[in-house]
Structure 1
Amino acid sequence: MLLDVNDKALTQEYDDFIAQSEFGNFYQSRQWSEVKNNWKRHYFYIREEGEIRAAMSVLSVTDSVAGKDFFYASRGPVCDLYDLNTVKALIEEVREYALEHNGFLLRVDPEVKHDEELVSQYAKEGLHFLKNPALTSQPLMSLILELKGRSADEILMDLTKGTRYEIRTSYRRGVEPYVAERSDLELFYKFMVEMSERQSIGHRPLDYFKRVYDAYGET
C-alpha cells in the first residue's frame, strides 16, 4: 500500500517501524529523501493484523537517456528477507506502481548476510542478485564491526597489528575525535577534498554533506 504522507498518524507509525525494525536502515528512513532532494519519493508498506509488517522507501529520478524514471529502494525492503512471500508482494506492488508512473527500472539492494541458499530461492522466483559491481548502486559487500556490548580495548584488539599501530600513533600526534557541529562541515570538507585528491577518487559536494547533517544531525 502507498503511504499517504498527509496522514500524520500513519506516517509516524511508518517512521517508527523503520527506526525500530531489526531490518531497518537509515537509507530507508524518510529523512534520506531530504538528502536526495532532487528525487521523487514513494513509500510502501504491508499491514498484517493491524500492524505494519514490511516497508520499502523508494526514490525515483528521470533518466536523461531513457527518458523514463529509475526507481531505487536503497538498502530496502525493511522486512525479513527470508519471508519470500512478503518480499515478493511488496516488490510486485512497487513494480506495478513504477510501470504506471513512467518507470523503466526498479532496483532493490537489501543488506543481508550472504547465503547461497537464499540467493537460489530468490532466483527460483525470478529475482536475481547482481554480481557485477558496475551494475549496482551500493557496494556488493559490507564489512560490519560489532560495537554493542564491547569495550574500546576489546574492539581495538580485534583489529590488525598495523591498524592498531596507526590508531595509537594518531593519538600520539595529537589527533582527538570529537562530536562536530554543523559549522565544522567546512573543515571536514577540506579534509575530504584532500583525501579524494590523494586517493584519486571522487567526492560529494559540500551541500550534500550539509543535507546529510540537517537530515540526521539529531539522531
Structure 2
Amino acid sequence: MIEYLTLQNPRELDLFVASHTRGHYMQTAAYGKSRSDYHWSCVVLRNDNGEIYASIALLSRKIRMTPCRIFYAPRGPVFSNLTEFKEICTAARDYCHQQGGYLLRMDPPILENDPIYPHQIRNMGFHIDPRDDYSAYQPRHVYQLSLLGKSEDKLLASFHPKTRYNIRLASRRGLVIRDGNRRDLPIFHAMMRETAARDGFQPRPITFFDDLLTAMGSNASLLLAEKDGNVLAGAILIVLGNKAWYAFGCSFDAGRSNMPNHLLQWEMIRRARWFGCSLFDLRGVEGLPSPLNPAYGLHHFKQGFGSHFVSYLGQMDLPLRPGWYFFIQTLHRFL
C-alpha cells in the first residue's frame, strides 16, 4: 500500500529510518523540518500488516519562470532489496509527476561497484552523474569508520601514529571540548565563513544551522574546541540509530597548530561509540585518494582516523517531463 506523509505525522517514519541499515538522517522528517527553504513530503510503502517497509523523503521547490518543480531525495530512498527499490522509485515517480515535477533526483547509498543496481537503475531511465566534486548535492566519496566491537584503546591503536600524536598534543596544550548551544551559533558561523573563504566554498546561512540543531533535537550536538576559553574549532555531530555523522566542521586560522580538529574528531568518534553506534561517517571528500589530487589533504586527515574510502554510485536524475528537463538543463548551462 502506498501512503503519502506530511510533517504532521512523521514519528513512525523516523523510527523506521533510524532502524534501517540504509537509513540516513537526511531521510527523516526531523531533517525535513530543518529545510524550511523546501517543501517536504514523503512516500512510504506498507505491507499487509500496515508496517512501513520502504520510504523516500522528498524536498521540492518550484523552478522560477516555469510551472515545474524539482524533487530531491537526499540519500534516499530507504529500501532493503532491488524489488523494494523499484517499487518505491515507481511510487515516487508517479507522485512527483502528479505534483508538477519535471525531475526526480536522488543519491542513495549504493556502492559504485555494486554488481546489480547500476544496470537496473539505468534501465529505469535514470541518468547517473559521474561527478565527484562538491558541485553535486551530496558527496559521492566519503570516509567511514567501523566502531563495531572496538574499545577506545583499540580505536586509538588503529589510527595513524601522527593522528594519535596530534590528539595528545591538543590535550597537552590545554584544549578541551565542550557542548555548544544556540548562543554559540554566531561564533560557529564566523568559523564557518572563515573556513569557506579558506577552502573556496559558499557557506550556508546561520539560520540553516539553527534550524538543523533545533529540528534534530537530541540527535544533533554542536561541539566546540577551546583553549583558555577561546573557541578554535567546531563541529556538528548527528546520531541516528546505530550510525553517526560528522555533519559539519569549521575552524579559525588562528590556533590550528594546536590541532583542535583532531581532538574534535576523536571526541565525536568517542561519543558515537558511547551512543552504541556501529558506524561513524566522516562525510565527503573530492576526487580519489591520490597524492596527485589537489584536495588530498582532507583525504589524508580522514585516513588518519583509520577510516576507509567509500565510493557511491552518485547523483542520479529521472526526467519526468523530458521537454522541460531538456529546456531547464540547457538554461542552467548558460546561466
Does residue 1:130 correspond to 2:129, yes or no?
yes
Given the two structures, how large is their TM-score scaled by the length of structure 1? Answer: 0.86
Going from structure 1 to structure 2, the CA distance change for 1:196 and 1:125 (only over 3 Å counts) comes to closer
User: Which residue number in structure 2 is paired with residue 33 of structure 1?
Assistant: 32
Going from structure 1 to structure 2, the CA distance change for 1:22 and 1:65 (only over 3 Å counts) comes to same
User: Aligned-pair distance for 1:95?
Assistant: 1.1
| Structure 1: gaps (5+ residues) | none
User: Which residue number in structure 1 is paired with residue 159 of structure 2?
Assistant: 159
Which amino acid letter does the alignment assign opposite residue 112 of structure 2?
H
Contact 1:41 1:60 in 2 (8 A): yes
User: Which residue number in structure 1 is paired with residue 86 of structure 2?
Assistant: 88
Matches of 2:202 and 2:165, distance apart in 1: 28
User: Aligned-pair distance for 1:128?
Assistant: 4.8
User: Which residue number in structure 2 is paired with residue 45 of structure 1?
Assistant: 44
Does residue 1:12 correspond to 2:11, yes or no?
yes
Matches of 2:185 and 2:174, distance apart in 1: 20
Q: SS state of the match for residue 56, structure 2?
A: strand
User: Aligned-pair distance for 1:16?
Assistant: 1.8
Which amino acid letter does the alignment assign opposite residue 59 of structure 1?
L
Matches of 1:98 and 1:32, distance apart in 2: 20
Matches of 1:117 and 1:65, distance apart in 2: 41
User: Which residue number in structure 2 is paired with residue 146 of structure 1?
Assistant: 146
Going from structure 1 to structure 2, the CA distance change for 1:99 and 1:217 (only over 3 Å counts) comes to same
Q: SS state of the match for residue 22, structure 1?
A: coil
Return the structure number with greater helix share. 1
The aligned runs of 1:1-219 (5 Å cut-off) are 1-5=2-6, 8=9, 11-50=10-49, 51-64=51-64, 66-80=66-80, 83-118=81-116, 119-133=118-132, 136-219=136-219
User: Aligned-pair distance for 1:175?
Assistant: 1.6
Q: SS state of the match for residue 113, structure 1?
A: coil
CA shift digits 1:102-136 (9 cap, x unpaired): 21110111113333413234334444532124673
Contact 1:56 1:73 in 2 (8 A): yes
User: Aligned-pair distance for 1:75?
Assistant: 0.5
Return the structure number with greater strand share. 2
Q: SS state of the match for residue 57, structure 1?
A: strand
Going from structure 1 to structure 2, the CA distance change for 1:152 and 1:103 (only over 3 Å counts) comes to same
User: Aligned-pair distance for 1:4?
Assistant: 4.3
Matches of 1:147 and 1:217, distance apart in 2: 24
Q: SS state of the match for residue 211, structure 2?
A: helix
Q: CA RMSD in A?
A: 2.3
Contact 1:31 1:215 in 2 (8 A): yes
CA shift digits 1:159-211 (9 cap, x unpaired): 22332332222222222122222222222222222222222332111111111
Matches of 2:7 and 2:122, distance apart in 1: 37
State the percentage of identical aligned residues.
28
Contact 1:41 1:57 in 2 (8 A): yes
Matches of 1:189 and 1:171, distance apart in 2: 24
Contact 2:69 2:102 in 1 (8 A): yes
Contact 1:2 1:42 in 2 (8 A): no
User: Which residue number in structure 1 is paired with residue 226 of structure 2?
Assistant: none
Going from structure 1 to structure 2, the CA distance change for 1:214 and 1:140 (only over 3 Å counts) comes to same
User: Aligned-pair distance for 1:54?
Assistant: 0.4
Q: SS state of the match for residue 110, structure 1?
A: coil
Going from structure 1 to structure 2, the CA distance change for 1:58 and 1:189 (only over 3 Å counts) comes to same
Which amino acid letter does the alignment assign opposite residue 73 of structure 2?
A
Q: Higher relative contact order at CA 8 Å, sep ≥6: structure 1 or structure 2?
A: 2
Comparing 20-29 with 149-158, greater Cα deviation is found at 149-158
